[in-house]
Amino acid sequence: MRSVIGVLDSGVGGLTVLAALERALPGAAYVYLGDTARNPYGSESAARITAMAREGLHYLLGEGATVLVIACNTITFTALDVLARETDVPCIGMPSEIPALETARHVAIAATPATIATHVHREALARRCPHVRVTETAVEGLAAAIERGDRARAAALIAAAVQGWGDVDTVLWACTHYPLVADLWQAAAPHCRWIDPAAQVAQEVVRRTDGATEPGSVRLCFTDERAAGGLRATAYAENLWEVVAISEKRGVL
Ligand code: DGL
């Protein structure tokens, strides 16, 4: 069966993963949902993130998705285990094991508070490369600032986040929103190497679908018009998009 690829994020951040998917599987049918009405997810409880993500995935399945890509670290590490058990459709989340980090001396993990609280990246790296030092940095409010297209606020939060990184040489963007302000990160810590796991996710989708995807186009759906601010920073700024309602579409996946 050829796949229709559903992509879920709390807002515009997952568009960084969608862009990598399109590079790996050009011309495939994609339906993207960003829950802009309820963004950010990253300071919410695991129970609430799970409930919100369940509604988003249910919406994508209703729109014909046959593979679900969770283009959000926060959802992946707090809710994916539960949600994947509720459906037969393959669910592919963000990776915790990232080979590109293994050559570093000192890695900073930049992510939302919810993702940092799981320590998944630190533990995965410690298992494979115990000699790599890890600093975890929760950047409260950054995804929301990116979502609004507020670069001044994003720059201030990033400047505060890099304080105390010392000899960090490699940074993992463990929030899909963060590469949308790559230039601000690079200006704040110019000596660092920056790792965006989006291409790794795209390769996993190619592997799981055998590259057999339904031909089609990209459909962009958001739950609130707030998408407009953040969309400007993405590769999809000129695309048509629609506002959809998901919160009344309850039910088991
Ligand atoms: N894009 C999401 C991630 O990768 C989080 C943004 C949010 O806090 O909603 O973690």
List the domains of the chain with CATH numbers: 4-94+199-249 (3.40.50.1860), 99-196 (3.40.50.1860)
* Distance from Cα 72 to the centre of ligand 1, integer Å: 5
Q: 41 or 252, which is more confident?
A: 41
What is the set of active-site residues? 72, 175
Quote the mean pLDDT of the chain. 95
Q: pLDDT tens digit string along 44-56?
A: 999 999 999 999 9
Name the pairing type of β-strands 91-92 and 106-111: unpaired
* 47/212 Cα distance (integer angstroms): 34
**Nearest Cα residue to 24 out of 207, 203, 209:** 203
Query: CB–CB of 68/14 below 8 Å?
Result: no
Q: pLDDT tens digit string along 136-172?
A: 999 999 999 999 999 999 999 999 999 989 999 999 9
The H or E element that residue 47 is part of is helix 46-62
* 31/60 Cα distance (integer angstroms): 7
Q: 141-178: buried (b, 16+ CB within 10 Å) or exposed (e) per residue?
A: bbbbbbbebbbeebbebbeebbeebeebbbbbbbbbbb
* 207/29 Cα distance (integer angstroms): 17
Mutation choice for ligand 1 from 10, 76, 77, CB with most ligand atoms inside 8 A:
10
Whether pLDDT at 252 is above 70: no
* Distance from Cα 112 to the centre of ligand 1, integer Å: 6
Ligand 1 atom, smallest distance to 40 CA: 9
Q: What is the pLDDT of residue 146?
A: 97
Mutation choice for ligand 1 from 12, 74, 136, CB with most ligand atoms inside 8 A:
74
Residues listed for the chain: 253
pTM of the model: 0.95
Q: What is the pLDDT of residue 176?
A: 98
Confidence of residue 3 (pLDDT cuts 50, 70, 90): confident
Find all residues with CB under 8 Å of 145, minimum gap 6, and list them: 151, 153, 154, 157
Supply the DSSP string of 193-237, one letter for each residue.
EEE-THHHHHHHHHHHHTT-B-B--EEEEESSTTHHHHHTTSTTT
Q: How many CB atoms lie within 10 A of CB 249?
A: 13
* Distance from Cα 214 to the centre of ligand 1, integer Å: 28
* Residue identifier of the C-alpha nearest atom 2 of ligand 1: 72
Q: How many helices (H) and strands (E) does the chain have?
A: 10, 10
Confidence of residue 57 (pLDDT cuts 50, 70, 90): very high
Ligand 1 atom, smallest distance to 74 CA: 10
The pLDDT of 101-118, averaged and rounded, is 97
Whether pLDDT at 253 is above 60: no
Ligand 1 atom, smallest distance to 177 CA: 1
Name the least confident of 107-121, 146-160, 185-199, 200-214. 200-214
Q: What is the pLDDT of residue 164?
A: 87
* 197/71 Cα distance (integer angstroms): 10
Q: pLDDT tens digit string along 124-134?
A: 999 999 999 99
Ligand 1 atom, smallest distance to 111 CA: 10
* Distance from Cα 1 to the centre of ligand 1, integer Å: 31
Mutation choice for ligand 1 from 77, 96, 112, 120, CB with most ligand atoms inside 8 A:
112
DSSP letter at 105?
A: S
The pLDDT of 97-106, averaged and rounded, is 97
Q: What is the pLDDT of residue 145?
A: 97
Q: What is the pLDDT of residue 249?
A: 52
Q: What is the CA radius of gyration of the chain?
A: 17
* Distance from Cα 20 to the centre of ligand 1, integer Å: 17
Residues near ligand 1 (Cβ within 6 A): 9-11, 13, 39-42, 72-74, 112, 115, 143, 175-177
Query: CB–CB of 188/170 below 8 Å?
Result: no
Q: pLDDT tens digit string along 203-229?
A: 999 999 988 888 889 999 999 998 999
In what side-by-side order are the strands of the sheet with 133-138? Answer: 133-138, 106-111, 170-173, 193-195
Q: What is the pLDDT of residue 191?
A: 97
pLDDT more than 70, % of the chain: 97
Whether pLDDT at 70 is above 60: yes
